[in-house]
Amino acid sequence: MTRQPLIEYAVVIPTIGRAGLAQLVATVDGEPAPARIVIADDRPDPAPSLHLPETRAPLLVVGTHGRGPGAARNAGWRAAGTEWVAFLDDDVSVPVDWCSRLVHDLQDLPGDVGASQAWLHVPLPAGRRPTDEERRATGLVGARWITADMAYRRTALLATGGFDERFPRAFREDSDLALRTVRAGFTIVWGDRVTTHPITSRGGWRSSLRAQAGNADNALMRAKYGWRWRRLAATGPGRTGRHIASVAAAGTVVVAMIAGHRRTAKAAGSLWALLTAEFVIERVLPGPRTAREIATVLATSVAIPPLALLHRARGELAVRQPGRRKAADRPGAVLFDRDGTLIENIPYLADPRGVRPLPSAGRVLTALRRNGIAVGVVSNQSGVARGLITPAQLDSVNARVDALLGPFDTWQVCPHDPTDGCSCRKPQPGMVVAAAAELGIPTQECVLIGDTGADVDAALTAGARAVLVPTAETLQAEVDRASVVAAVAPNLAAAVRRSVGRLP
């Protein structure tokens, strides 16, 4: 019989289909057992089926269709629904007792600890120094906030909104989330577990050129945290200044030669040669110094400075475009809980004659529709599963709500019992995700207004915004928490104003 873990945790593995995925899944299906293993398949469509082993823990595969590691990790933790979420890269290997080591690291952590980071072991190549390409992996040893093995508390993910999906590659998105977690009042601690991250050669001699695309992500970090972002993220000083000097010197050579200023061209050429030589030496000395490695470094050291600056310029332009904002100032849709939010809360309402809209419900819905904002209903109705109301009675009540307050652009209803383990019943995100899909808008452009903590959690887990409108039945703990991770409004009209501003 499988022992229950001392704490509730899930394992999330974003994947692009690497060969070691099956073995990793088999290893994390250990003891104490995770509540769920979530595979976030980020391969572009169409993609063949993943070959995954049978597991004792529930195994769920969610697809993010090539949207990037941030989107994959967000989809994974939102589907997990557990107190702790342990993120693993699909190319790491963990010891057979990793589950017990993880639980040991997480057990008894204070509530202000938002994440626990593993130590990474990167095996060096046997009998030689690592190449320039391989040293990018060795730099992970001791680096802060690497999500190759990082466990986050769900409340921290809800408070921050998770990973910023504007980072399109596995670069800087982990530092960004960690910085926002610390700014939200949480701390991040080191655990005792150790995970092995392999050195792999994936790009050949061009890999250092492809890596320069990360400079665009550096621009986003600068936009979010200012020019001191490197110090905040505990990363190296970078070479942007020297790259600018190198490219400027090379450009001066060309202009001076065209203008016939040979002395200026010679001086600028000497500066360019000096900067390039310094860059080559910096990259060659720690490596194996073979003829192939030296030739690769020589060729790429000439190309990297202008390429790095081009990517940085592309990133700086992108972060200034309004379309790069994480969500629009005005949402595309406002979703409402039904009972206690739009109509009076009568438990297991079976008679449509008992539908009584709450004050201002009709007025705010009309204003939203007039301003082109979609409206919808997301409602738990477990009375169906419990046999307290029939599906036909539920349909007649909803039809009455639609007649009095509609038309609604989407209706999402969960008829399941809380013990059914479905993915649609709030606080699970299923209905919010389904509503956004039906409306054809991202979940980030939705707001959910409701009267319980389950409404808030469903919205935040789906990536939407949330506003809590407390009633006499709302727990004070739910109000206190919503005031931190979402928003609280005294009534429905105020909640709509908090969501979309004043409407004409």
Residue 188 lies inside a defined structural domain of this protein: yes
The verdict on whether 90 is a catalytic residue reads: no
Amino acid at 64: T
Could you tell me the two tokens for 243?
A: 């790259």
Return the C-alpha torsion angle 296, 299, 305, 306, nearest 10: -130
Structure tokens that stand for 315 in this block:
């990133």
CA distance 55 to 138: 32
Q: Is residue 426 part of a domain?
A: yes
Look at residue 449 and give its three-state secondary structure: strand
Whether pTM > 0.75 for this model: the answer is no
Q: Helix, strand, coil shares of the chain as percentages rounded to 5?
A: 45, 15, 40
Q: Are residues 198 and 347 in the same domain?
A: no
Asked whether 373 and 334 are in contact (CB, 8 A), the reply is yes
Q: Which H/E stretch holds residue 460?
A: helix 453-462
Exactly one of 164, 337, 451, 457 is catalytic; name it: 337
In a domain, 30, yes or no: yes
Instruction: Give me the catalytic one of 217, 339, 455, 457.
Output: 339
- Output the CA angle 405-410-411, nearest 5 degrees: 75
Query: Can you give the CATH number for the domain in which 150 is found?
Result: 3.90.550.10
Last residue of one domain, picked from the residues 179, 202, 225? 202
Q: Which region holds residue 458: left if phi is over 0, alpha if psi is between -120 and 50, else beta?
A: alpha
CATH of the domain at 405: 3.40.50.1000
Q: Would 43 be classed as within a structural domain?
A: yes
Q: What are the φ/ψ torsions at residue 462 (nearest 5 degrees)?
A: -80, -10
| Domain co-membership, 196 together with 340 | no
If asked whether residues 41 and 180 sit together in one domain, one would say yes
Domain boundary among 202, 233, 262: 202
Which residues, in sequence order, are CB contacts of 444 under 8 Å at separation 6+? 326, 327, 463, 464
In a domain, 469, yes or no: yes
Q: Is 302 contained in some domain?
A: no
Q: How far apart are CA 485 and CA 431, in angstroms?
A: 20
Q: Which of 253, 239, 258 is nearest to 307 (CA)?
A: 239
Boundaries of domain holding 131? 9-202
337 as an active site residue: the answer is: yes
Q: Are 5 and 11 in contact (CB under 8 A)?
A: no
In angstroms, the CA 26 to CA 181 distance is 31
Q: 10 - beta bridge partners?
A: 36, 85
- Strands, E assignment, 239-291: none
State the DSSP code for 57: S
Phi then psi for residue 461, to 5 deg, are -65, -35
Q: Is residue 98 part of a domain?
A: yes
> Does a structural domain hold residue 99?
yes
Question: How many of the other CB atoms lie within 10 Å of CB of 337?
Answer: 24
Residues 6+ apart with CB under 8 A from 33: 2, 3, 4, 5, 56, 57, 99
Domain boundary among 202, 231, 263: 202
- Antiparallel, parallel or unpaired: β 374-380 and 9-15: unpaired
Q: Tens-digit pLDDT profile for the chain (504 aa)?
A: 344 446 899 999 999 999 899 999 999 999 999 999 999 999 987 888 899 999 999 998 888 888 889 988 988 888 787 899 999 999 999 999 999 999 999 999 999 999 999 999 999 888 889 888 888 878 777 788 989 999 999 989 988 878 988 898 888 999 999 999 999 899 999 999 999 998 876 667 788 999 999 999 999 999 989 988 998 888 888 899 999 999 999 999 999 999 999 999 999 999 999 999 999 999 999 999 999 999 999 999 999 999 999 999 999 998 877 544 443 457 889 999 999 999 999 999 999 999 999 999 999 999 998 888 899 999 999 999 999 999 999 999 999 999 999 899 999 999 999 988 888 999 889 999 999 999 988 898 999 999 999 999 899 888 889 999 999 999 998 998 888 778 999 999 999 998 888 776
Domain count, the chain: 2
